[in-house]
A and B are shown apart, each in its own frame.
Chain A
Amino acid sequence: MSKTVLTVDDSRTMREMLLLALQDAGFNVLQAEDGMHGLEVLKGRSADVIITDINMPRLDGFGFIEHVRRDTTHRATPILVLTTESDAEKKARARNAGATGWIVKPFHPVKLVDAVRRVSG
């Protein structure tokens, strides 16, 4: 059975790019437009991997990760942070919040898929 990836990004372009890359690689893709939306999506179903942006309206990536980690059903779901920020401070914050790893935009589809496969085992 193919794995499900939830992508959380306020940019439609980014969501579509992720969708194309992940669908081509055989993943099911769920989409959310910001952290709040992401949490709502996760209420109904689970994902094998979550990819989230940091800078988003309503609930940013850090807050989103924290909430996901507090939810028992998604505690062990790998979360990759997708952001143009490559500085150490952001990574540290993401990891403190519970992120599994990060990917720096712009990403190459092949590398993205590799990354998802690696954290999802």
Chain B
Amino acid sequence: MDALRQIFFQECEEQLAELETGLLEIQSGGSDPEIVNAVFRAVHSIKGGAGAFALEDLVRFAHVFETVLDEVRKGKLAASEHVLAIMLRAADVLADLVRVARDGGSVDDARIGTATDELASLSGAPAAAHGGASETEAEEEDFAFTPVAVAFPAFDEVATEPEPAVNEFTITFKPHASLYSSANEPVVLLRELERLGEMSVACDVTEVPLLTDLDAEGSYLAWTITLKTTHCEDDVRGIFEFVDGDCDLTIEGTAGVSAAGEDEIEALLRRIREEAEAPVEDAASETIAVETAVIEAAADEFSSTDEAVAAPAPVHDAKLAIVPAEPLPAAQKAEAPKADKAASGEAAQQTIRVDLDRVDRLMNLVGELVINQAMLSQRLAEAGLSRSSDFATGLDEFEQLTRDIQEGVMAIRAQPVKSVFQRMPRLVREVAAATGKKVRLVTEGEGTEVDKTVIERLADPLTHMIRNAIDHGLEKPEVRAANGKREEGLVRLSATHRSGRIVIDIADDGAGINRPRVRAIAEDKGLIPANAQLTDEEIDNLIFLPGFSTASTISDISGRGVGMDVVKRSIQALGGRVSISSRPGEGSTFTLSLPLTLAVLYGMVVTVGDQTLVVPLTSIIETLKPKPGDVHGFGGDSRVIALRNNFVPLIDVGRELGYRTQIVDPGAGVALLVESDGGAQSALLVDAIQGQRQVVIKSLEENYGRVPGIAAATILGDGRVALILDVDAVVAGARNGGLASDNLLALAG
């Protein structure tokens, strides 16, 4: 049962997401009836499951909600802005009720009350569900956890009633042809009837025609049944509930038969039953035999129609071929405007659940394969084989296959960003309510896929950035109106794949970054020297500095102890970058660019001292060959390099990492211009560049621990471990007097 509960709550989460997505789609003008249906189904499913688990609060609220949705679905209630606002609030309450049912706790009664009243006011029904007192009987039936299959009489319950009076019924039962066509079986019904008491049956076969005249679809038999039972007439009638209207049925009762002579009757009944059942079954099997022949002929017809349909587009229509050639309205409607939905539905059929560990193991093995392939390449190159040799071509194919396998495995771990995106609408509503702003959230590219680990670690930064966009980006409605803007601000959240990375934009149409103020705050807090020459871009990037906050009043919304610096750091920890573009009066766009996976990385392989290092390509802006005249001493050991109209610090990676102590001639090496925390640029001096390649990321912490200045390790083609440089740490270390001191701090802590 626990597992079932878990499934139910998982499903609730999905349904809640579906509900919210649907409501928002309607709000933004979606008029496809399938959206309303989907929304209705979501609430309906939650109610259904909640009923099974006797979660009465949830069932009650879902029921009221469902009633309103049903009216919208039937076109009785227009989905106006007002109605949608109420329904969105109701969706939040429903979500809270689900969570409370799962995790315990309680939902504010007043909130449920308000939401219930609001919903009830829409459907015109009395706000009964919350109070629970004035529920109608009919509703009660739906709400309560009644462990009864209502369509079937509850025999055992009736049996416990304290009046064992025996009734005798005479029942005549003549099925119509339509009874058979709904796959009801008189034999089965008779057997059911027998369960109620003692029964005698007479079968009237007089109407059965000669076999040649027999209509396969016809009905020729009739029964007369005498039933002695303690059940009432309704129970007897209940047996025939499914076939009501598909048969001639009379039930006549004579109450109060004495119990005397029961044995005799029983014996008689048994004999009659034996006799009666035999012809019934014969007749039935005959019918079926004939039917089969008719059916086969019909089937031939069908299949010829199918061929005609299937011919023009065999692949697609083959799927529908067995389904009679008539259109499937519901399916087509669903497929046309929401192709992704139909597709996901189809995909769901072929889904298997796999333990994540297995996928990770596979991922590791593929990592090994990649490394092995690189080793093999290197060995062959060392062996001096020409590029055109059979070995080399074979190896090229091997390399291609390896890459395909790697992509395949990574695709298994990939998930659409939808799971994160769909948490945002509620956040937007809450932040909008708390700040008194009007906000519309538009999401795009929800189907964009990225590695599961990346998705999991994306939620917090995104939450913060959306909050920030509303709290700091958008203006109050009156301000917007005064500036000739729509009162309702727009926040656009979009995801897309771009050159092997996922790019997520968070754009608002607010006031844009107030640069004079940002600058003033940064100066105030001593983050930048007064009168520093800064470009607009550099000023914008000041908001990523640790300890920076532009909120003049500490707002409950953004002030949760995290600033944009934390956002930036967490994105960078994922191998990503954040950038801003902002136009005064028009709004700001924050762009996140992230790797699609945390398992591999594109890096520049460089030589430093006698070591080989990998520098993530994402941090490198450009590489340059320093000319002796460009490098200047800058107090003590520090050096800067002149770059266009700027001086950037020149960091000797070899010295920073302690590979060497002497100062090397910059002219003998290569400088990598990198961007690190806060957008500051630095030049990393290395001895030589070996090339660029994709490397498999290996943890150093698993068997060792953190290494200052090093992000992780990888294994290169020669089978040796190479370290992946943590650019931010190296730059920060150089700024703060070396990584080694950082190391000492770490030791002390």
Say whether A114 contacts B41, CB under 8 Å: no
Q: Which of A20, A33, A67, A114 contacts B348 (CB 8 A)?
A: A33
Say whether B151 contacts A69, CB under 8 Å: no
Tell whether A25 is near chain B: CB-to-CB under 8 Å. no
Tell whether B150 is near chain A: CB-to-CB under 8 Å. yes
Say whether B328 contacts A36, CB under 8 Å: yes
Closest to B52 in A: A106
Tell whether B112 is near chain A: CB-to-CB under 8 Å. no
Bound Cα distance A77, B288 (Å): 12
Say whether A58 contacts B334, CB under 8 Å: yes
B242 CB to nearest A CB, Å: 4
Q: Which of B51, B181, B246 contacts A105 (CB 8 A)?
A: B51
Most buried by A among B141, B149, B241: B149
Say whether A121 contacts B187, CB under 8 Å: yes
Contacts A84-B47, A119-B188 given: A100-B147 contact, CB under 8 Å? no
Most buried by A among B44, B142, B342: B44
Tell whether A5 is near chain B: CB-to-CB under 8 Å. no
Contacts A16-B4, A98-B183, A100-B183 given: A55-B40 contact, CB under 8 Å? yes
Bound Cα distance A43, B147 (Å): 34
Across chains A and B, the number of contacting residue pairs, with CB separation under 8 Å, is 174
Q: Which of B8, B149, B324 contacts A104 (CB 8 A)?
A: B149
Closest to B149 in A: A111
Say whether A115 contacts B183, CB under 8 Å: no
Contacts A12-B7, A56-B41, A100-B184 given: A63-B328 contact, CB under 8 Å? yes
A74 CB to nearest B CB, Å: 9
Tell whether B152 is near chain A: CB-to-CB under 8 Å. yes
Say whether B151 contacts A67, CB under 8 Å: no
Tell whether B618 is near chain A: CB-to-CB under 8 Å. no
Say whether B149 contacts A70, CB under 8 Å: no
Tell whether A79 is near chain B: CB-to-CB under 8 Å. yes
Say whether B147 contacts A108, CB under 8 Å: yes
Bound Cα distance A57, B322 (Å): 20
Say whether B37 contacts A112, CB under 8 Å: no
B524 CB to nearest A CB, Å: 55
Proximity bits, A35-52, B CB within 8 Å = 1, else 0: 111011001000000000
Chain B residues, CB < 8 A from A86: 141-142, 150
Bound Cα distance A114, B248 (Å): 26
Say whether B330 contacts A58, CB under 8 Å: yes
Tell whether B101 is near chain A: CB-to-CB under 8 Å. no
Say whether B41 contacts A10, CB under 8 Å: yes
Say whether A14 contacts B242, CB under 8 Å: no
Instruction: Tell me which residues from 310 to 349 in chain B have a Cβ below 8 Å from any Cβ of chain A.
Output: 319, 322-324, 328-331, 334-335, 341-342, 345, 348-349
B329 CB to nearest A CB, Å: 8
Proximity bits, A4-18, B CB within 8 Å = 1, else 0: 000000111110110
Tell whether B148 is near chain A: CB-to-CB under 8 Å. yes
Tell whether B191 is near chain A: CB-to-CB under 8 Å. yes
Say whether B184 contacts A13, CB under 8 Å: no
Bound Cα distance A36, B324 (Å): 13
Chain A residues, CB < 8 A from B52: 13-14, 17, 105-107
Say whether A106 contacts B51, CB under 8 Å: yes
Tell whether B146 is near chain A: CB-to-CB under 8 Å. yes
Say whether A10 contacts B331, CB under 8 Å: no
Say whether A98 contacts B181, CB under 8 Å: yes
Contacts A13-B11, A20-B4, A114-B149 given: A77-B183 contact, CB under 8 Å? yes
Say whether B41 contacts A57, CB under 8 Å: yes
Bound Cα distance A50, B400 (Å): 48
Residue ranges of A at the interface with B (Cβ–Cβ < 8 Å): 10-14, 16-17, 20, 32-37, 39-40, 43, 55-60, 63, 67, 69-72, 75-79, 84, 86, 95, 98-108, 111-112, 114-115, 118-121
Residue ranges of B at the interface with A (Cβ–Cβ < 8 Å): 3-4, 7-8, 10-11, 34, 37-38, 40-41, 44-45, 47-49, 51-52, 141-142, 145-152, 154, 180-185, 187-188, 191-192, 241-242, 245-246, 288, 291, 295-296, 298-299, 302, 319, 322-324, 328-331, 334-335, 341-342, 345, 348-349
Known A76-B183, A107-B147; further 16 A-B contacts with Cβ < 8 A = A58-B331, A59-B328, A59-B331, A71-B323, A72-B298, A75-B291, A76-B291, A84-B44, A95-B182, A100-B183, A108-B147, A111-B147, A111-B148, A112-B149, A115-B149, A118-B152
Q: List 27 A-B contacts (CB under 8 A).
A: A11-B11, A12-B7, A14-B48, A17-B52, A36-B345, A37-B345, A40-B349, A57-B41, A57-B345, A58-B334, A63-B329, A63-B330, A63-B331, A70-B324, A72-B298, A78-B183, A78-B185, A86-B141, A95-B246, A100-B183, A101-B241, A102-B151, A104-B148, A108-B147, A114-B149, A118-B152, A118-B192
**7 closest Cβ contacts across the A-B interface?**
A108-B147, A111-B149, A104-B150, A106-B51, A72-B295, A13-B8, A101-B242
